Structures are given as structure tokens and as C-alpha cells.
Amino acid sequence: MNAVLRLLALVSTALAATTAGAQFVKGNEAVQVMPDGSRMVETPPTDGALLAKPCPAAQVGCAGGGWKMVETPDGLMECSEVYARPTTCRPSTYGAEKKSRVWVVKTGAEWKHCQYPIVGTGCVSIKRLPNPAVQ
């Protein structure tokens, strides 16, 4: 019985670590950890972008093409757009709810959306249509 309980505890710990690890994208250059442990976070610039009226994340139907998972100064957020403008984001439900998602990352000087939270896996420029995956 003790062996079974230890095994269940080990599996629970492994699952928790896996979920927590997927809460960010390793290699996302938009997030910089400073020497003092603080984080500096960039979001895609709106300069030169053709922007529609913001669709609030709380409004049903705003993420018709899938949620954009964007690192913000407030942490990982689900956004209805890649630019993470005010009202377009809400706290992440990744790991708790399965939804169509893409991950917004910066590599070099280019902003991309990736099919999975892995840089280089199904990533295309934010100027192209993404290929979301249910996660």
C-alpha cells in the first residue's frame, strides 16, 4: 500500500512539473530574466499594424481563430489577439481547459506564433495565419 501511495505521489509531482513547465516557452526572447530575478517582457509592437477594434477576452466569440498565448508583465495570458492590448487578455487556463491555442514568441527580431509551446515547432510569422492546436 505504501508503494502505491509513493507511486501516486511521484506521478502527481511529475504531472505538476510538466504543467508548470508548459506555462512558458523556452527560448522566447520576449522574456528576459534580469540578474535580480525580475522579468522584463516585450509584447508584439502595434506600430505599423492594422488594428481592428479590440475584442475583449471576456466576450464570447472573440478568439474565433484560437487563443493567442502571450507572455505579458502579468505572466502568461490568453489573448484574443497577438498584441495583448488592454482588455484583450485574461489569465491562462492552460493545463486546466483544452482550447485551440497558438503561442506568441519572439526569436531574433521576428515575432511568431507557434503551434506548441516549443520555439521552432510549427512556428510562422505573426503576419501569416497560424495553425492552432487544441491543447
Please tell me the pTM assigned to this model: 0.78
Question: pLDDT per residue over 103-134, tens digit each?
Answer: 999 999 999 999 999 888 789 999 888 888 88
Question: pLDDT per residue over 36-85, tens digit each?
Answer: 999 999 999 998 888 889 999 999 888 877 899 999 999 999 999 999 99
100-107 vs 110-114, strand pairing mode: antiparallel
Annotate the chain with DSSP letters as a single string: -HHHHHHHHHHHHHHHHHHHHTTS-TT-TTEEE-TTS-EEE-----TT---PPP--TTSTTTTTT-EEEEEETTEEEEESSTT--TTSEEE--TTTS--EEEEEEEETTEEEEESSSSTTSSEEETTS----EE-
Per-domain boundaries in the chain: 25-134
What local confidence, expressed as pLDDT, does residue 23 receive? 65
Whether 119 contacts 25, CB under 8 Å: yes
Beta partners for residue 105, in sequence order:
112
